Amino acid sequence: MADELIRVEGWRELSRSLRRANSELPKGLRLAANEAAQLVVNDARPKVPVGPGKGGHAASSIKAASTRTAARVQGGGSKFPYYPWLDFGGRVGPSKSVRRPFMKTGRYLWKSYADQKTKVADTLDTALRRVIEDAGIGVE
């Protein structure tokens, strides 16, 4: 995509070690990942166009989601099935009559990630260190 993903070596091993120490500790990893992903959400949401209709808009579908071992930012869903078209472009509608220039790297999520990558990495580093220190494990 637009940029390399951030990969943390030893994340799964850290999660297992924390779980062995206390079953509640791995939740801190998920919260740390969400904290970093939220930076991308906050940057991308204002960039997504808002339609004239009442109620929710595609921008409101952008959110951080994580598990114990991975974090992501996602947009769209069943309520906003047109979100991928907004972000990446293509052809939709009757006989594919509505066109939006296709951008492989997207307009919102991946661009926001690329713009925020340093902050995301720094936030993730700080949050992970906090989780490790709270668990009583030394940090090198």
**Digit-coded pLDDT (tens) for 65-110:** 888 778 889 999 898 888 999 999 999 889 999 899 999 999 999 9
Question: Cβ(101)–Cβ(95) under 8 Å?
Answer: no
Task: Answer whether residue 129 shows pLDDT above 90.
Answer: no
How far is 15 from 125, CA to CA, in rounded Å?
Answer: 15
Question: pLDDT of 28-44, one tens digit each?
Answer: 888 888 999 999 999 99
Phi, psi of 42, deg, nearest 5: -65, -30
Token digits for 54? 């009442």
Q: Which residues pair with 73 in a beta bridge?
A: 64
Per-residue pLDDT at 66: 85
How far is 86 from 106, CA to CA, in rounded Å?
Answer: 9
